[in-house]
Structure formats: C-alpha cells, structure tokens
Amino acid sequence: MPPAMATLTTTSPPLLLLSIILFLLADAAATADAVRFDYATLTLATLKLLGDAHLNNNTIRLTRDLPVPTSAAGRALYAAPVRLLAGFSTSFAFTVTTLNRGSVGGGLAFVVAPDAASVGDGGAFIGLDPAADVAVEFDTLMDLQFGDVNGNHVGVDLGSMVSVAAADLDLAGVELTSGRTVYAWIEYAPGKAMDVFVSYSAKRPPAPVLSATVDLAGYVKEQAFVGFSASTQGSTEIHAIEWWSFSTPSPPSPAPSKPPPVSAVAPPPARVLDPTLPSTPQLPGITPPATPATVSAPPTSSVTAASAPAISVARNNAKTPHPPPQGAVAGAATAGAVVAASFAGFALWALARRAKARKRDAMAVATKRDNVASAAAMARSPREFSYKELSAATRGFDASRVIGNGAFGVVYKGIVPDTGAMVAVKRCTNANADGAQARAEFLSELSIIAGLRHRNLLRLQGWCYEKGEILLVYDYMRNGSLDRTLFDASSPALPWRHRHEILAGVASALAYLHHECDRRVIHRDVKSSNVMLDESYRARLGDFGLARQAEHGASPDATAAAGTMGYLAPEYMLTGRATEATDVFSFGALVLEVACGRRPIGTEGRCNNLVEWVWSLHGEARVLDAVDPRLGGEYDEGEMRRVLLVGLVCSSPEPERRPGMRAVVQMLSGEADPPFVPAARPSMSFSANHQLLLSLQDSVSDYNALGLNLSDEDSSSDSLSSSSLTSTLRKGGHDIGFSSTAGGDAR
C-alpha cells in the first residue's frame, strides 16, 4: 500500500468496551488522592469533634460559651486523613468573641495532626501538641516564653510553639478579638512557600500577610488530619469557625497508558488520499470537484457522505458499488426534496409558535420582574442574585439550613459560592391561597428596606425573582434573633450591658424610621424575634413584611390588624390604623421583655400580661422586683429603673401619653428623664382624641358587617354602638374577643 494511503482498522465490541474502561480507570487513578470539600458539604459524620468543640447555630464552636474564665481546649478535624505533601489550599472564616471584653487569651489555629483522637494542651498551647502538630496559629495573647511578637499575630509552627515565622496583624488592620468575622487563606506549595492571607473582607487580598519558606516533608506523615484547634487561656474567649474550604491538587500521574485509537470510540476519519486515485465512485455525468491532497477529518460524531463509501471500500475491497440508474436518482432526489420542504415548513411553524409562547411568557415574567426591579431601583447597593446561586448557597434550601421564620417566609443560612460570604436568604412560602399576599408582602419589604440606611437596620444585600419565587438576601447575623438569645436556657444569660445597648439600638432605628426618612415608615411588627444580633450583639431591626410608608403628617390608611399579640396597641387592634404610637407601644413591650426576661404574654406567675404585672409592682414601689433573676443583680439599679419606667410609659393604653421615639432615645441614653408614670395603669380615654373616636365609629360598621360582637352585652344584637365600643375600650381592651396565645400572630 502506498504511504499516502491510510489503513483502516476495526475493533470488536468487547475489545472496544475494555479499552474504554481501562482508559477511564487510568484517568480516575490519577485523581484518586485529590481531596476537595467545603463547609456546605460537611456533616457531623465527616467531622471529628474533640474536647470542648461542638456545633452551635450552624457554626463549629471550638470552645464553650462560659461566663467565667477557664483554661480549656477543643479541636475539630476532618474525619478522614488526607495527603498534604503535594500541597494544599484552604480558606476559612472565624470569629473570636468574649463575654467579658477584658478577658482575652488563647486563640485558634489551623492544625495538621498525625491522629484524630487527642487534644493538645489548653492555655497558651492553643490546644496543640507542640511535638507532633504543624499549625498556623492566630494568637490573641502574647506569651514571652514562646517569643510571640504581640497579642495579635499569625505564626507558622513546625513541631514547636515557637513560630518559625510570624506577622503582626495590626499591620494588616485586623484585630482578632474585635468580634468581627475574619477571613483567612493558607496556600502551601512544597519546596516553595506557605502563604497566609488575612482580611475582614471575603475577597482575598492581593498580597499575603505572612510568607514562610517551609518544607513539611520532615514534619508531616504521608497522611495526616486537618482541622482547627483553640483554647481559652484563663479567659472567656469563644472561637467559632463560620466557613471552611479545603483542597489538595491531583498528584502527577505516571506515564499515561495509550488511549484507545480514535476508530475504537468513534467513526473513522476520512482517509489520507493519493491524488492519483479516485476517492469515491464517480456517478455518470457528474464531474467531481478538485480534491486536495488531504481531506480534514469530519467531527467524530458524524459520518459524511464522502467518508461513507470509503468505509465500504475499506471493509470489502472485493466489492465495487454499481452506480444506480439515473431515474432512481432523480426520483429519490425529488422525494427527498418534498420531504425536506415539508419538514422545514413544519419546523418553521413549530419554531414560530414556540417563539410566540416564549415571548408571551417573557412579557408576563418581565412585568413581575419590573415590579421587583422598580422597588430595588431605589437602592444603591442591593444586587440581583440568580436562583441557581441562592439554591447552591443554601444547599438546595435544605431544612438543616433553616435559621428562622419571618412574615410569610422561611429564612435560610447561605454561603455565596463565588465569594464565600455568609448571608441570610428569606424565601417566600407561596402557600396556596396566601401566595398573592405573600408576594405583595415581599414587594413591600423590598421597596421599603432597599432605600433605608441605618446601622441598626438589617442590611439588604440583594434579591431574586425566578421560578415564581421572590427571595431576599440579608447580612447574616451570627447570634441569631433576640428572643432566642433571651430565652435559650442552655446558654448563659445575656448580660445587662448587651441588653441595654440592644434596646438603645432598636430605639435609634425606630426614630430613624419615624422621623428621619423622606417618607416615614411604620414597622407594625416590632418584637424580639424581629431583632437580629450580629457578632458583637449589636441590634439589627428586620422583617419589614408588614411595614407601611406614609407621608409625614398624613393620616394612615386603615388595614386589617396584623402583628403579634402582646405587642399590639389596643387602638390598633380595633381601628387597623398603624401610627408611630403603635410602634412605640410595641417597643414598650419589647423593653419590658428584655429587662424582665419574660414574654409579653405568658403563663409565668399570677399574671400572664407582662405590662400589667410590671405596672402593679411599680404601684407597690417594687418595680425592680420585675428584673430578670438570671442577671444575678449585675446591673446598675438607677439605669434599670429608668429602663423599666420607659417601658411602662411607652406601654400606656392612651396613645397621646406615649413619647416619640426621639424622646425615647434620649431617655435611654440618660439625656432626658422619663415622664411621670402613675402608680395605677390608666384606662383608655378618648376625650382628648376625637380623631381616634371618629376612626372607631367608622370601624363599627366594618365589624358588624363581619358579624363580630365585641361585648357580651351586645352578643344578641346585630349592631354595635360606638358608646358600647368606647365602654369596652375604657376597660383597657380586655373584653375584646381576640384569642391571645404566647407569641401568637394576629393575622
């Protein structure tokens, strides 16, 4: 055969299958030792928790939350050993907080350990075994015995607590004990360097804060365990891992086995042709075009008309195809043209119909998206997320990621894949009949909060409208909601200093909403479960699903009363008209709840109404007896008395007696004294509030139309007079036929 002629080989099916399997196995073996995981894929089964390490609120806590100083240690490791000598890359986010700002000491470390069964020493050793572990330490206390540069540094430890290299984090503008989330990246390339990056931002800095030339071969076994270690050094430090990603490169594979020939896995390419030989049988009357010396191979997934005869010739050199009759060719061509034309016409019709349907659907979606986009246009920073991004961030909205429930929505903890930033994703429940209302509430929340900027308001990061769902993305608050922190019996009592700062923060946020916005905002659902706490226990008021905007000085429209029993002002429950005063009443209930450690409506003691109980103690000159006993008397009595009186005056049954939120801010800060609070709780009076009385009279017909009877005396009547309604309200609204359960929603 001339050299220019290509030989064509064939492979039997069993041999073809065997070749493919061997090729895939060889490729898989090359990457078998590579490890890759992140926090979203970690479970309790893949973690090894030792010492004081435990899981809390979707974070890894390495040390216990104890109000008294201790010296203990904890360790969390990936349960399976990994190969590290080829290099590794890891990134994580952590926080170091303390219940007592003057009590610091210890720190945490990324650790490489020879086993997953032991915890190192506490105190200054950060839970490390100095003789066996390799670590990158984040030290919060200067230990002269180890030659530490200061009490805020990062160092590389190789079988010793004396770091081979260290860097002052003050130069990077990072304070480990600030309570803020710290992001770290560690990259190790064998024979080159170990680079450590540290930042408050989820975006890696361009330059490392520490770069050390190290070789782990003399300190680490072929397989070792990776994770984190921490200790308290006579302090109340709390060390939490919020996010973790880890990967090792694929080891260099040996000389790869020869892959199967192309002909074994795909139709053979066209042959390299000898220009002197015909490439295909020539049809009578048809002059073939000039053929180049080499014909490029067609795609492996198709067989061209030119290559098909060539394959036939190669498979059976003894047979030469005979040209078909010209009539048959013409008939076949005509029939083919008719079929092709019919198919093309049908395809064009189908495509046109599909395009029209898509356009119609796109217009419908665009209309809904425009509603959301127009609301978000008010904002300067919120971005639009894709549904795919948020689904990946929440592991497909997995139930294990649920961190709370808001108005018409479930809140998930999420980790944005491209940045590693932690977020809270609020997802509309879309519950059948309430679907339209839920969408309206979410649009309300987006349009309101997108334009608000205050340090004590929960920040909106972005939004998404896809697949008929609306999702809102907020800053993630590591300490959850205020009500969980207050009433979690398994955690230490929230110190009074934090409680007072929380109340001052919420008051400042409400003053901003009522008086400092271009259009005043009535929140309508101020309660402890809607107050979120960041890593420093700073209050962030959220959940604007029930909020309403109005021009300053304008009379609010009446709506169905919405909110939570115990926080609702009596006039709001009857008129449906929310004002600044109704928010002030809710804030008063919140103040008493935080100071007393009791819910506004509960079963504790002889009185299940918190406001009435505190007011009765005030009348007996024993108001401090209402203070939360879990505080153990650790508070300033003068400040506590002031706070309780602010709570009572804000909870007055008469709206006109309640102070404005600007005045409340001054009272809580000590800049102004609270007004006189009578010993007996006043009854409701409308003599000085004719507008409210008119509102009540206007509301009577609405209640009668619904068949509601608000007093026992009128239960047999089809109508209710304004005088009987006023009489009911003079009693404080307690005869109103509303069911009240602890914390239940009146919706």
Distance of CA 64 to the CA centre of its chain: 24
Candidate list 525, 543, 583, 628, residue with the active-site label: 525
Q: What is the pLDDT of residue 246?
A: 93
Q: What is the pLDDT of residue 421?
A: 79
**Could you tell me the residue ranges of all domains in the chain?**
36-247, 383-475, 484-551+560-681
Where do we find the tokens 């993630």? 476
Q: What is the pLDDT of residue 639?
A: 95
Q: What is the pLDDT of residue 326?
A: 52
Provide the 10 A C-beta neighbour count for residue 745: 12
The CB-side HSE value for 63 (13 A sphere, CA atoms) comes to 34
Fold for 36-247, please state it.
Jelly Rolls (2.60.120)
Fold for 484-551+560-681, please state it.
Transferase(Phosphotransferase); domain 1 (1.10.510)
Where do we find the tokens 């064939």? 10
For residues 306-345, b (16+ Cβ closer than 10 Å) or e, as one string? Answer: ebeebbebeeeeeeeeeeeeeeeeeeeeeeeeeeeeeeee
Q: Is 527 annotated as a binding residue?
A: no
Q: What is the pLDDT of residue 613?
A: 93
Q: What is the pLDDT of residue 469?
A: 83
Token pair recorded at residue 158: 């190789």
Contact 107, 137 (CB under 8 A): yes
Q: Residue 697, SS3?
A: helix
- Amino acid residing at 3: P
Provide the 10 A C-beta neighbour count for residue 650: 28
Q: What is the pLDDT of residue 631?
A: 95
Q: What is the pLDDT of residue 403?
A: 86
Q: What is the pLDDT of residue 259?
A: 52
Angle at 583 between CA 581 and CA 588, to 5 degrees: 95
Q: What is the pLDDT of residue 544?
A: 73
Q: Residue 43, SS3?
A: coil
The torsion angle over the Cα atoms of residues 576, 580, 583 and 589, rounded to 10 degrees, is -110
Q: What is the pLDDT of residue 42?
A: 65
d(CA 502, CA 496) in angstroms, rounded, equals 10
Q: Residue 26, SS3?
A: helix
Residue 88, strand partner residues = 188
d(CA 41, CA 46) in angstroms, rounded, equals 9
d(CA 111, CA 114) in angstroms, rounded, equals 10
Residue 195, strand partner residues = 187, 211
For residues 651-668, b (16+ Cβ closer than 10 Å) or e, as one string? Answer: bbbbbebbbebbbbbbbb
d(CA 71, CA 126) in angstroms, rounded, equals 10
Longest pairwise C-alpha distance within the chain: 119
d(CA 664, CA 368) in angstroms, rounded, equals 41
Provide the 10 A C-beta neighbour count for residue 452: 21
Q: What is the pLDDT of residue 222?
A: 84
Q: Is 525 a catalytic residue?
A: yes
Token pair recorded at residue 498: 């934090």
Token pair recorded at residue 33: 């030792």
d(CA 61, CA 491) in angstroms, rounded, equals 13
Q: What is the pLDDT of residue 715?
A: 36
Which residue spans within 5-46 are E strands per DSSP?
A: 36-38
Q: What is the pLDDT of residue 559?
A: 46
The CB-side HSE value for 370 (13 A sphere, CA atoms) comes to 6
Contact 79, 188 (CB under 8 A): no
Say whether 484-551+560-681 and 36-247 share the same fold.
no
Provide the 10 A C-beta neighbour count for residue 23: 17
Where do we find the tokens 């016409």? 345
d(CA 393, CA 426) in angstroms, rounded, equals 12
Token pair recorded at residue 701: 């017909």
Contact 550, 522 (CB under 8 A): yes
d(CA 172, CA 196) in angstroms, rounded, equals 12
> What is the 8-class DSSP label of residue 473?
E
Q: Residue 282, SS3?
A: coil
Q: Which homologous superfamily is 383-475 in?
A: Phosphorylase Kinase; domain 1 (3.30.200.20)
Token pair recorded at residue 272: 């390299």
pLDDT averaged over consecutive 10-residue blocks of the chain (747 residues)? Answer: 42 48 47 69 79 84 79 89 90 85 78 87 79 89 82 90 91 89 92 90 90 88 91 84 88 54 44 38 40 40 39 41 50 59 68 67 54 47 85 89 77 84 81 58 67 86 84 88 89 92 96 86 90 90 67 46 76 86 96 95 69 94 95 94 96 93 94 90 61 47 41 37 42 38 38
d(CA 242, CA 61) in angstroms, rounded, equals 9
Q: Residue 291, SS3?
A: coil
d(CA 601, CA 623) in angstroms, rounded, equals 18
- Amino acid residing at 694: L
